[in-house]
Amino acid sequence: MPSWHAYTEQPTLAPNTEVLITGGHLPVRVMTADQLTIEMPGDRRLMAVVVDRTGERLTLALGDGTLLSLHMAPDSGFAHFQLSEGFSRQSWMVE
């Protein structure tokens, strides 16, 4: 099962928090059962598993059992977030 890196500029994954998933040189194609490592401010890191990917919606299970729903969003808040050339990315919003 693939593992993806993700980033957020917020200290929690509250509603309307943008999460940027990066794919390195591979196109980002997050699917059910994939794992995410979410980097947060203050060197905080969360691990999550995608329990459902249906269309432009994700359901994540965090390590503590919390379920989060996200929908695909335009990449707006991370315009300044520079990735190396060739890196792919997708932006998601916590519901």
Task: Kindly report, residue by residue over 14-62, the tens digit of the pLDDT.
Answer: 999 999 998 877 788 999 999 999 999 999 999 999 999 999 999 999 9
Predicted TM-score of the model (pTM): 0.86
- Quote the pLDDT of residue 56: 96
- Quote the pLDDT of residue 82: 61
The maximal CA–CA distance of the chain, rounded, in angstroms, is 36
- Bridge pairing between strands 3-7 and 35-40: parallel
Can you list the pairs that 55-62 forms with residues at least 24 positions away whose Cβ atoms lie under 8 Å? 58/30, 58/92, 60/36, 62/13
Distance (Å, rounded) from C-alpha 10 to C-alpha 2? Answer: 25
Q: How confident is the model at residue 3 (pLDDT cuts 50, 70, 90)?
A: very high
